[in-house]
Structure 1
Amino acid sequence: MLTVNMHDAKSSLSKLVEAIENGEEQEVVIARNGKPAAKLVPILPASKDVSKRIGAGKAALANWRSFSLDEFNAADDEIAQLFGAGEGSGE
């Protein structure tokens, strides 16, 4: 962890951000009068850790039963009728 004073941080902000972006530094603490005042850290893309979303999906679907392909396709004719298949659609 790198600590810099406020003046140095203002003078070299782009270099500090570049060091964070390149992974050279994990965080940079900016101090005012020798006391930590702020922290510069990388912003990680939200899409990197999808485990919580996947877990939520598994939990939401936990009580659903699976269907065989034949069971899934069994309602095709009924669904086609609901959508008006064959009524002037060229079938």
Structure 2
Amino acid sequence: MKVNIHEAAAHLSKLINRVSGGEEIIIARAGKPVARLVPVGSRPVERIPGTAKGKIILHEDFTAPLTDDVIDSFYK
């Protein structure tokens, strides 16, 4: 659901009830999203460095320069 700032301020308690039910509310200014209202429990779990060790394999040319074709594809 997306609401503007004025509507969010006027109906904050109703929006909080919806968020408590698991819904996510996007708050927008002039139609552009500026904030997200989410349940407290939905915060991402803190990442622990090194937990994927041995699970990710990088190809030997991973750090090689990109070809012109690949670079050009970013600009199309």
Q: Return the TM-score normalized by structure 1.
A: 0.44
Where do 5+ consecutive residues of structure 1 fail to align? 53-91
- Please name the residue that 1:36 is paired with: 33
Unmatched segments (≥5 aa) in structure 2: 49-76
- Percent identity reads 47
How many corresponding residue pairs? 45
Q: Which 4+ stretches in 1 moved above 2 angstroms? A: none
Question: What are the within-5 Å matches in structure 2 for residues 54-69 of structure 1?
Answer: none
Question: Aligned-pair RMSD on alpha carbons?
Answer: 2.2
Would you tell me which structure has more helix in proportion to its own residues? 1
SS at match of 2:41: coil
Task: Quickly say closer, same or farther: Cα 1:45–1:28, change in 2 above 3 A.
Answer: closer
